[in-house]
Structure 1
Amino acid sequence: MKMRLTDMAVKKLPLPESGQVCYWDETTAGFGLRCSTSSKSFVVLFGPSRRWKTLGRYPSLSLADARREAKRFLSEASFGKHQEVRVSFEVAKERFIADCEKRLRTITVREYRRHLNFFGFKKDLAQLERADVYRKLDELIDTPTNQNYAFTALKVFFNWCVRNQYMDHNPIAADKKPARLKSRDRVLDDEELKALYSYVRTNRTLFHDMVALLILTGQRRTEIGHLRWDEIDDGHLHLSDERTKNHRSHTLPLPPTAMHILETRESEGIYVFAGKDPEKPFNGIRRVKEALDKAVDIEHFTLHDLRRTLSSNMARLGVPIHVTEKILNHQSGSFSGVAGIYNRHSYLSEMRDALAHHDAFLENLINS
């Protein structure tokens, strides 16, 4: 859209509800104002393929200064001082990872690399469009990666590329976590659950005992992986509000098989699943999970899928949904709003019966 950019016009131009809108100055060719959902930036187009260059944000950069900078930049570009930079996704990705290794934790760098490896854009970075990104994200639905994490990693990467002038703008800068991305709904069927549960019960290791407890209780990975001996008392698991995702303390009756697993473990150190160092919780899950995946030949699953699987099997066993939500320590659903405020019943006996029923279901499953 072309218009005469004035101080008053720039001030009054509205921000779009989504995406970006560019207003090109009628008096200075190639100079304009780009409005996104949260900001206004002065930009200039130059070169044969009309490459973008962001000059600065309004109002930090005034219109007069931006127009002056645009004229200087366009003049220099006409003499070849500003050549277009064409960088492939793979080259930029390796440079990004190398930069991250200097300033971020090893696990963070590893996850950035893992998620970015799922994207294999053939276009140069400067040519990527929003549609290209979502086309790739749609392809990740059936892969082991998490779409939301992949989206976040890509957004961080694109912002880094803009700062390093490999791209003129981030094509997904204005997007929050897209609603169109599918959430995981993986539930292990009986044959898969039988194969996994039989394996971890028969081949007992530190990690396999942890997986067995996740299957038996439906608790979150960190809640079991960081489990301390002082959190187990009189057949119950007691988690403080500091140890749960929703910051609500949680007491859970442990089913018989879970108690048997815990009782046969040596209770040395602080953590139940301490590795070589008894002062630290279980670490290195990714490596041992990959080994488990190779040993148990079933479709890819995550440890969090075991929580969803327990919930589904509880429904099959006729356990009321509010009891299952108590077991999972869910704050929403049956215990949201007024119900959560006034219903202070502990449901300990109901949870104990449900988990014992589920325990028996698992035993029948592996013995069938």
Structure 2
Amino acid sequence: MKEAFAEYLASRDLKPGTVHDYKRHMVESFPDWQDRRLTEITRDMVERKHAKLGERSEARANGAMRVLRAILNFAAGKYENANGQPIILDIPTKRLSATRRWYRVERRQTLIRPAQLPAWWSAVDALESETIRDYLRVLILTGLRRGECARLEWKDIDLEGRTLTAPDTKNRSPHTLPLSTYLVELFRRRSKSSEGSRFVFPVGPRRANKDEDGHLNDARHSMAAVAEASGVSFTPHDLRRTFITIAESLDIPAYALKRLLNHKSGADVTGGYLVIDTERLRDPMQRITDYILKAAGVVPSAEIVTLRAESA
């Protein structure tokens, strides 16, 4: 299995985050199957493994079986016996579909609500790492995915043009966003203290949560500290949901919302004809930032006027 998995990864152009997740499944879900022949894996084994994994996490159990299915499908097309016949004639994961054993996992609907933003923002401010503080702020103010944000390089930030470009995205289309005034100042400050790294969010050589290229890769410990201090449990994708939910509440047009998230138009013929220039998103981005900063108590929600008592 481990050999087929290595060849599968080598044959596919997968996103770094996908590769990381697949490898994690191999380590956590299939440690006892690494040296097993693929032809020894039966439908009963798959069903039992899926049920066992599901006791801990139904979503992870489904994910593990999708990885196994991908490896088995690859092997069925790749490997043959001496007679030229496929060594795998049956894909054992079909048992899960035939018996309807796949877990029904609902899409997460969690996000940070406006009333929770003051406590969350204050807890982020209290973090020791300036890099992680800014990373979390950029996530909630741009709606970027965690990997897109973590891999940003300084060549992707145009402070003169006030734009940000995530070149390596989930749908493989570069994603350019205008920067709000708050983000422009944040990146200017970071550019003066990035320690010569090409990454916007680097980590020191002694930190364990870095990947081989030196950019931030795992902020779970800091996020847990924020959740404990604020009482607001969240994931990086919750910050993306918070961003777009606030955007929708501000009556930003639907096509602009798709462009802000870098979503494809799919079967939407009209959307396929629309070309929304980055500058058209500058006002929406500023409005979203302003709303979040006001809700978090970072800036006043209204002008404060001092009232003077009239003399008798």
Normalised TM-score (structure 2): 0.62
Tell me how far 1:210 sits from its aligned partner.
0.6
- Could you say if the C-alpha distance between residues 274 and 131 of structure 1 is closer, same or farther in structure 2, counting changes exceeding 3 Å? closer
Q: Are 1:359 and 2:286 matched, yes or no?
A: no
Q: What is the root-mean-square deviation of aligned Cα atoms in Å?
A: 4.1
**Corresponding residue for 2:219?**
285
1:349 alignment counterpart: 279
SS of the residue 1:264 aligns to: helix
Which is bigger in relative contact order (C-alpha 8 A, separation at least 6)?
2
Aligned to 1:252: 177
User: Tell me, what secondary structure is at the counterpart of 1:238?
Assistant: strand
Instruction: Tell me the residue number matched to 1:229.
Output: 154
Q: Which amino acid aligns with 1:339?
A: T
Asked if 2 retains the 8 angstrom alpha-carbon contact of 1:214 and 1:307, the reply is yes
Give secondary structure in 2 for the equivalent of 1:237. strand
In the TM superposition, residue 213 of structure 1 has moved relative to its aligned partner by 0.2
- Aligned CA distance change for structure 1 residues 172 and 227 (closer, same or farther; 3 Å): same
Any stretches of 5+ residues in structure 2 without a counterpart?
10-18, 32-41, 73-89, 206-211, 302-312
Residue 258 to residue 138, structure 1, CA distance change in 2 (3 Å):
farther
Residues 1:269 and 2:269 are matched in the alignment: no
Separation of aligned partners in 1, 2:45 and 2:116: 41
Structure 1 unaligned spans of 5+: 1-95, 118-124, 159-168
Which string of whole-angstrom CA distances, capped at 9 and with x for unpartnered residues, describes residues 203-226 of structure 1?
452112111100000011111100
Question: Aligned partners of 2:95 and 2:254: how far apart in 1?
Answer: 39
Q: What's the TM-score, normalizing by structure 1?
A: 0.54
Q: Which amino acid aligns with 2:238?
A: D
Q: Secondary structure at the match of 1:216?
A: helix
For residue 12 of structure 1, what is the aligned residue in structure 2?
none
Q: Which structure's residues are more often strand, by fraction?
A: 1
Identity of matched residues, %: 26
What secondary structure sits across from 2:176 in the alignment? Answer: strand
Q: Does 1:192 align with 2:116?
A: yes
Identify if the C-alpha distance between structure 1 residues 106 and 252 changes in structure 2 by more than 3 Å, giving closer, same or farther: closer
2:136 counterpart of 1:218: no
- Whole-Å separation in 2 of the counterparts to 1:364 and 1:248: 32
Q: How many residues are aligned here?
A: 243
Between 1:207-216 and 1:195-204, the stretch displaced more is 195-204
Aligned counterpart for 1:339 among listed residues 266, 270, 280: 270
Cα drift, residue 181 of structure 1: 2.7
